[in-house]
Amino acid sequence: MLNKAQVSMAKLKASSIDRLMVVHGIDYNSETTSAEYMKISSHIRSIKSHLYLKFMWKILIFFTIAASYYFLIYFYMYPRCENMMIKRPKLLNNYNSKRVLISRLNIFGRECMSPYMGYNFKDSYDFPNAKTMVDKTYEYLVQNIKELKEDNFSILMSQKLKDRIYKSTNSSFAMLDYGSDASVINIIEEIHVICFKTPMTGTEYYPYIARVNAVQDEILAEFKLADHDSKNIINDQLTQIMNTTIVYSVAVLVLFFFYYWPYFNNQRKQFDRFSVLPTILMMDLE
């Protein structure tokens, strides 16, 4: 195939020289003709270089758009969405665990107070040592609060939920004026005092129970809000991925039909016109 191409090029060159000499009466081997030929060759190389750069620029545009889409989707949006989907069950589980731990802490706090209140759960139920369980539950709750802060769950929270956790819940209970986390810590401290220092009197007990119930209600409300917020945030992220893909697809189609297709179609037509030239040269010399 290469030999045939070389032979064809040699024939075309010979035909072109013959045409110059026979038809146009130009001495191809003269110094004037040679200098003119070198000038034309230099101009042709300049045109080729310009066309090559133009072609590479068109390829670079497409490559830049495709690479930008790839890196945006696969190195930012997909990992971010995946991280949200992994963290969402952990966030909801954190709230469920917190509710259970507060209930457990409340039960064993009451058990610690039972001798002073005239009743004892141990008479009816086989409870483990209340003070030991309070200590263990206290550790679990502290760890639960740390996880909520340290595991970057904030990407799944609305500003409203963050405010309820760390600022104010707008509750009628003063202990909730500084956020649910602060109120949980307050409950932990109260129960710790009940079990290890000073038991409550009867008049103090019922307001304490009301505070515990208020905190549990707040945790339940936040659980529902976290469920709603995280679902919406993940859906928004998926919508962004879909919209980005649509924009990329439309951009590629527009580029193809209004930029690349006219260019390559024009190049094909030029090639078709140039392909006729050797035939014309050969016909003129026959």
The tens digit of pLDDT for each residue in 34-66 reads 566 566 566 656 766 777 788 888 889 889 999
Provide the residue ranges of all domains of the chain, joining segments of one domain with +.
70-237
Contact 168, 178 (CB under 8 A): yes
Count Cα neighbours of 111 within 13 Å in the Cβ-side half-sphere: 20
Give the pLDDT confidence of 66-79 residue by residue, as tens digits. Answer: 999 999 999 999 99
Give the pLDDT confidence of 223-234 residue by residue, as tens digits. Answer: 999 999 999 999
State yes or no: pLDDT of 283 exceeds 70. no
Read off φ and ψ for residue 170, nearest 5 degrees. 60, 40
Contact 278, 12 (CB under 8 A): yes
Question: What would the mean pLDDT of 255-283 be, rounded to a whole number?
Answer: 74
Rg over CA atoms, the chain: 41
Q: What's the pLDDT score for residue 1?
A: 43
**285: confidence class by pLDDT, cuts 50, 70, 90:** very low
d(CA 252, CA 256) in angstroms, rounded, equals 6
pTM of this prediction exceeds 0.85:
no
Q: What's the pLDDT score for residue 213?
A: 87
Who has greater pLDDT, 9 or 273?
A: 273
Who has greater pLDDT, 69 or 124?
A: 69
The 8 Å CB, 24+ separation contacts for 51-57 are none
Q: What's the pLDDT score for residue 265?
A: 84
State yes or no: pLDDT of 142 exceeds 90. no
Contact 22, 29 (CB under 8 A): no
Range name among 32-41, 90-99, 129-138, 212-221 with the lowest pLDDT average: 32-41
Question: Six-digit token pair at 252?
Answer: 């590629």
d(CA 267, CA 54) in angstroms, rounded, equals 12
Who has greater pLDDT, 88 or 14?
A: 88
